[in-house]
Structure 1
Amino acid sequence: MSAPLLITVAPTGAETSKADCPQLPTTLDELVATAISCQAAGAAMIHVHIRDAEHRPTLSLPALSETVAALRAETDLVVQLSTGGSVHDPLEDRLAVLDAAPDSCSLTMGTVNFGDDVFLNPWPFICDLYQLSQERQVVPEFELFDLGQVASLSRLLDRHGLPFGGRVHVDLVMGVPGGMPGTADALVAAVAALPPAVTSWSATGIGRSTLAVALAALSKGGHLRVGMEDVLTLARGVPVESNAQLVSRAAALAELAQRPLMTPAQARELLGVRAG
């Protein structure tokens, strides 16, 4: 049997406004309902950004803690909080995300142009966040936007050792204007450059690169991240109706690739996440 597939859903993000996309889950109730439907469709992990009462991106610690608790109460999903926030969030607020005690956190391995903005991740911040994740027993997912960040991952592991849990899981974020393109060639190059310590990897195709990246990742034995943080259309002129729709499409691709879907319990084992 082929290796099980981990599907991560990224339902909200920090870029799209509720006014432009009313179906985007921005309230806690909407996020929990989305998580329940996405687990039923085949997701095993959820990558979480939250919004305030005006639907604006926030890193409010009480709200993050409430979100983690609600997702754990209503689903079995591995709960991963974004430490990227929005491109405008201060570094100290991004470090404080770990105070909400998620199962996992994102950890971006370098600064990258993000459209017209700059997603700032200086080396000292990367090291601080990584060491804090080790101390707090939070499993990082290393977000890699280009090949230079693949090299930075090797540097980080050489300097500070393995993450909590002993597993090294990365996500190739592809197709961001300013990062590596969302192509099969770029994916193959990035996977070939991953350090030997990497135990699993997934890929995310932004916008119109979603399907190309998903198909390439499946053919290379990787895992998938999908969700409305990354794409808002199913095809040209066809808007996404829900995150569960994107998870279901990924699950259908997995069936074609003969990759059984990973359960949340299997995902915890794969990632080295601490027991609940």
Structure 2
Amino acid sequence: MSSPTSPSGPVGPRSSGTLITVAPTGAEHRKSDVPNLPVTLAELVSTAQDCERVGAGMIHVHIRDAAAQPTLDLGLLTETVAALRAETNLVVQLSTGGAVTDPESDRLRVLDALPDSASCTMGTVNFGDDVFMNRWEFIVELHQRMRDRGIVPEYEIFDLGQLASLHRLLDKHGLPAGGHVHVDLVMGVPGGMPGDVQTLVAALRLLPEGASFSATGIGRTSLPVMLAALSAGGHLRVGMEDTLSYAKGEPVRDNAQLVARAAGLARIAQRPPLSADEVRALLGAARPEPVA
């Protein structure tokens, strides 16, 4: 896939609106440390409804078991997808990353819950003190299984070299389900690329032609990354998976607070939040189908 050179910029024509994804839970924070973290199905559904009301169009989902521990249990994942579809209009995206200790077989089985979208991380990265392993063969398998089921991937990029891997994937194995490439630049993870303007600009030069992108700023990089992404015509991911501070010395009240701030900034940038149906049109997302 050659790098784009169109006058409209590295990601093609700018969207007139902003896709806001909320990542409400993650797999890292403990409920005992963060009491307002949504971990039960009821908490997750309530959070999703609140976030949709203030501007979210997609939800990036990690789930927890009865003891509030991260899990990739297929039954719970299927129940979660069904509940979110019944109670919201959000595009439901499941994480295939899980926790860094989850085996590949469990991560692949996530797709059997048939979400609208799923993450596909494009390489291995040091993740704080841990290693988030993503072998090439596993990445290819995720990409192909998503296409077989009609699940739209979001290619998660933790470092610039992973964009070269994305080009390799698309060149060798073709476009994803829906035919559109959407990337999430995850910035500020200790061990990954920094969350600053210079790195964001460098990443945009490496995107596949016509791709759209969201950007996620971890921790204190949340606001700088959000502002830089909006200025570059990109989309946003926010949520308590990625930051627990609203401002210095001020803990996040809930996920809707983070979504509302992102929506306000998107309106200031004159690119208001996209509805869930507009997000589906942007990503080419359709209801996925089981594989016989």
C-alpha separation between the residues in 2 aligned to 1:118 and 1:237? 30
Secondary structure of 2:205's partner? helix
C-alpha separation between the residues in 2 aligned to 1:271 and 1:194? 16
Q: Which residue of 1 aligns with 2:255?
A: 243
C-alpha separation between the residues in 2 aligned to 1:275 and 1:70? 15
C-alpha separation between the residues in 1 aligned to 2:149 and 2:57? 22
1:181-226 deviation digits (Å, cap 9, x = unpaired):
000110000011112152x110000000000000000000000000
C-alpha separation between the residues in 2 aligned to 1:2 and 1:50? 31
Residue 108 (structure 1) aligned with residue 121 (structure 2): yes
Q: Find 1:147's aligned residue among 120, 145, 160.
A: 160
Aligned 8 A contact 2:116 2:287 in 1: no
Secondary structure of 2:120's partner? strand
Q: Which residue of 1 aligns with 2:6?
A: none
Q: How far is 1:151 from its partner?
A: 0.4
C-alpha separation between the residues in 2 aligned to 1:156 and 1:197? 16
The runs of at least 4 consecutive aligned structure 1 residues that moved more than 4 Å come to: none
C-alpha separation between the residues in 2 aligned to 1:230 and 1:180? 15
Q: Find 1:204's aligned residue among 216, 222, 226.
A: 216
Q: Which residue of 1 aligns with 2:233?
A: 221
Residue 80 (structure 1) aligned with residue 113 (structure 2): no
CA distance 1:2–1:106, change in 2 (3 Å): closer
Q: TM-score, normalised by structure 2?
A: 0.93
Q: Which residue of 1 aligns with 2:11?
A: none
C-alpha separation between the residues in 1 aligned to 2:97 and 2:287? 25
Which one-letter code corresponds to 2:217 in the other structure?
Answer: G
Which one-letter code corresponds to 2:155 in the other structure?
Answer: F
Residue 28 (structure 1) aligned with residue 32 (structure 2): no
Which one-letter code corresponds to 2:280 in the other structure?
Answer: R
Q: TM-score, normalised by structure 1?
A: 0.98
Q: How far is 1:153 from its partner?
A: 0.2
Residue 99 (structure 1) aligned with residue 112 (structure 2): yes
Q: How far is 1:117 from its partner?
A: 0.1
1:187-198 map, 5 Å: 187-198=200-211
CA distance 1:2–1:132, change in 2 (3 Å): closer
Q: Which residue of 2 aligns with 1:272?
A: 284
Secondary structure of 1:241's partner? coil
C-alpha separation between the residues in 2 aligned to 1:108 and 1:2? 24
Secondary structure of 2:21's partner? strand
Aligned 8 A contact 2:150 2:287 in 1: no
Q: Which residue of 1 aligns with 2:29?
A: 16
Aligned 8 A contact 1:3 1:260 in 2: yes
Residue 119 (structure 1) aligned with residue 119 (structure 2): no
Q: How far is 1:102 from its partner?
A: 0.2
Aligned 8 A contact 1:2 1:258 in 2: no
C-alpha separation between the residues in 2 aligned to 1:145 and 1:106? 12
Which one-letter code corresponds to 1:246 in the other structure?
Answer: L
CA distance 1:78–1:162, change in 2 (3 Å): same
C-alpha separation between the residues in 2 aligned to 1:254 and 1:272? 22
C-alpha separation between the residues in 2 aligned to 1:267 and 1:34? 19
C-alpha separation between the residues in 1 aligned to 2:46 and 2:160? 36
Q: Which residue of 2 aligns with 1:232?
A: 244
1:130-209 map, 5 Å: 130-198=143-211, 200-209=212-221
CA distance 1:197–1:160, change in 2 (3 Å): farther
Q: How many residues align?
A: 275
CA distance 1:2–1:170, change in 2 (3 Å): closer
Aligned 8 A contact 1:2 1:260 in 2: no
Which one-letter code corresponds to 1:36 in the other structure?
Answer: Q
Q: Which residue of 2 aligns with 1:262?
A: 274
Aligned 8 A contact 1:207 1:230 in 2: yes
Q: How many percent identity over aligned positions?
A: 67
